[in-house]
Amino acid sequence: MRKAEVSTPGQALAYLVDCTLATISHMAMLKSRKKSEYERQIAIAQNGVDWMVQMNIDPSTTRAAEIISQGLTVADWAKGFTLGES
């Protein structure tokens, strides 16, 4: 989803969750990262994903779709991007 496509509160939440998940995937691939900031971003994204599910917001145009469809937590999803982990 692109920022210009946002026209409802649900789409705004989906957009922000997608942006946060993009940040997490980037941080996960870094050789060195601040653990507390990484965990904070994961917690923020998890709240957003949980709200998307509770509010029945369509995740299909976001990275959250994979997390929701596979029943993953954001932390588990992020492990797929972490160097040396799977």
Is the overall model pTM greater than 0.75, yes or no?
A: yes
Do residues 79 and 61 lie in contact, with contact meaning Cβ atoms separated by under 8 Å?
no
How far apart, in whole angstroms, are the C-alpha atoms of residue 27 and residue 11? 24
- Look-up of token digits 């492990």: 79
pLDDT by residue for the chain (86 residues), tens only, comes to 789 989 999 999 999 999 999 999 999 999 899 999 999 999 999 999 999 999 999 999 999 999 999 999 999 999 999 865 54
Cβ neighbours of residue 21 under 8 Å, at least 6 residues apart? Answer: 45, 62, 63, 64, 67, 74, 77
Each residue of 41-53: pLDDT tens digit? Answer: 999 999 999 999 9
